[in-house]
Amino acid sequence: MSWVKQRKEMLEQLQNQGMPLHEIEFRRSGRSTGMALEFLGRALLSPERTIKVYDHDNNHSSASWVLNLCMDLVNQLNLKGFAFNKTNLSIVFSLEEK
């Protein structure tokens, strides 16, 4: 089954379960992954600068999820020099080994 068909079926199931359409809209759209990649890119472009992580629905648990996604991407891509702060929901990239 294609990704597009899987997403459409999942969205229909959520709607049938009574989830409001405005909450369903961004489910499995790839938007959070795109944001995670953007935060990592910002950190790479601005060494030693703290990059605050947030998510499109602007709440702490979603931002925490995006930070965890950033950490997973760094591990999967075997990138070095990233430090993550789960309390402040932030990323710092360093050119120096610490």
- 48 part of a folded domain: yes
- Smallest CA-to-CA distance from 81 within 66, 69, 65, 98 is with 98
- 54 part of a folded domain: yes
Average pLDDT over residues 19-23: 64
Q: Regarding predicted confidence, which is higher, 83 or 64? A: 83
pTM exceeds 0.85, yes or no: no
Percent of the chain with pLDDT over 70: 71
- 36 part of a folded domain: yes
- 20 part of a folded domain: no
- 24 part of a folded domain: no
- 7 part of a folded domain: no
Domain limits at 58?
A: 30-93
- 73 part of a folded domain: yes
The 3-state DSSP class for residue 92 equals strand
- Total domains present in the chain: 1
Identify the top-confidence range among 19-33, 35-49, 56-70.
35-49
